[in-house]
Amino acid sequence: MLYPVYVHKDEDTAYGLTFPDFEGCFSAADEMQDIQRMAQEAVELHFDGEDLKLPKPSSPEQWLGDERFQDGFWLLIDIDTSKISPY
């Protein structure tokens, strides 16, 4: 499933990843090519052992006015939901 991920980066930092559909789920990637892998890993760990429902993906457009998501960019990341085991 394609989930929106907000990506932000300062000159001397890794790419920060924020997942608005998964409250409290964050990650980072040193290189652009690592974003997919780190996003998948973060979501798997977010749900591991937790009694959480997997939400349907939102649209990045619904977050455009949110002040938490400024000065970065959006990606749609394909999260393999078959690897997510909530309990």
Task: Tell me the Ramachandran region of residue 49: left when phi exceeds 0, alpha when psi lies from -120 to 50, beta otherwise.
Answer: left
Q: What CATH class does 2-83 carry?
A: alpha beta
- Indicate whether 30 pLDDT > 60: yes
Q: Is the model's pLDDT at 49 over the cut of 70?
A: yes
Residue among 52, 10, 30, 62 nearest 38 (CA):
30
CA–CA separation, 62 vs 50, rounded Å? 26
pLDDT at 85 over 80: no
Average pLDDT, the chain: 93
- As a whole number of angstroms, the distance between CA 87 and CA 85 comes to 6
Angstrom distances, CA of residue 54 to CA of 42, 43, 48, 51: 14, 10, 12, 10
Confidence of residue 86 (pLDDT cuts 50, 70, 90): low
All structural domains of the chain with their residue ranges? 2-83
18-42: average pLDDT: 97
**Mean pLDDT, residues 21-47 taken together:** 96
